[in-house]
Amino acid sequence: MERVTGRNVRGALPDGLADAIRGTAADIAALLRPGTDTRAAVPGSAWTVGEAAAHLAQANELMADIAAGQERSHGDGTPQSLAAANAHALAAFAERAAEPLAALIVAHADAFVTAADERLPEEVVATPLGTMSRAVLGSYLLTHMLGHGYDLARAAGRPHMIDRARVRLSLPFLITAMPRVANPAATDGLTACYALRLRGGPGFGVTITDGAVVVGPQVPVRPDCTILTEPVTFLLMALGRRNPWSAIASGRILAWGRKPWLAPRFPTLFTAP
């Protein structure tokens, strides 16, 4: 497809993101093999395998529609409203068989990439977690699939699909979403500057001033506390799939700085999206 028209460059997704979205959808579909017991429980969740897969199919469709320019509502961005919207959507969607759901997950992921590829990078859209560019929406879609794909892999007793490259591509969404999912009860009155670094990869900064949270892609020069985390562990903690204390005990998290005691408080400052 021709990407250059005058001064406008089409294709809203950064390098590697389209392949990561399609690859993750294919990895999830591979977990939903013929004969998969979709009535089995997902560890740590109230959902069955079939419900989790149905949710993924619906979410991929929702984000593909948004990427295509359609207006879709799904809660008001709060965890409670998103949970209620998910429950309502699942109740209205009867499919729970593995193979049809696998096909829908892949098809909607591909539709998202196609829609985003036909739009301008600077265009913004309304999403369940506020306005964002289609590039960040693609990061959101990838992150969402990785979280539930991890759950399905655990349910199937098979390796998950999260790796260092996919974690890096999830960062634009996480950086955008973190201020929106800050826990007011934990951040109230707090003033602190954190540098978050992924081992062998990029980092970002989190500044909290009397409870107001600002997150950006630049690592602060003089943070109060620097936290270094193994990338896959970082994403699993960010999505509420791993206990930070076990990660600390296993050496997957290190912290230092002028106020290293701020490190244990950091995971409490946000609610997993």
Non-local CB neighbours of 221 within 8 Å, separated by 6+ positions: none
- Phi and psi, residue 98, nearest 5°: -65, -50
Region 4-161: CATH code: 1.20.120.450
* SS3 of residue 39 by DSSP: coil
Q: Check: pTM over 0.85? Answer yes or no.
A: yes
* SS3 of residue 134 by DSSP: helix
DSSP 4: E
Q: How many helices (H) and strands (E) does the chain have?
A: 9, 9
Q: Burial code of 2-31, b = ≥16 C-beta within 10 A, e = fewer?
A: eeeeeeeeebbbeeebbebbebbbebbbeb
C-alpha distances (whole Å) from 202 to each of 12, 38, 151 are 21, 38, 26
Domain residue spans of the chain: 4-161, 179-269
User: Using one digit for the tens of pLDDT, what is the confidence trace for 126-176?
Assistant: 999 999 999 999 999 999 999 999 999 999 999 999 999 999 999 999 999
Residue 10: per-residue pLDDT: 60
The DSSP string of 64-79 is HHHHTT-------SSH
Report the distance separating Cα 145 and Cα 211, nearest Å: 31
Cβ atoms of 217 and 250 within 8 Å: the answer is: no
Residue 138: per-residue pLDDT: 96
Strand partners, 209: 212
pLDDT tens-digit profile, the chain (273 residues): 344 433 345 677 999 999 999 999 999 999 998 889 999 999 999 999 999 999 999 999 999 999 999 998 888 877 788 889 999 999 999 999 999 999 999 999 999 999 998 888 788 999 999 999 999 999 999 999 999 999 999 999 999 999 999 999 999 999 999 999 999 999 999 999 999 999 999 999 999 999 999 999 999 999 999 999 999 999 999 999 998 888 888 889 999 999 999 998 999 999 886
> 179-269 has which fold?
Nonspecific Lipid-transfer Protein; Chain A (3.30.1050)
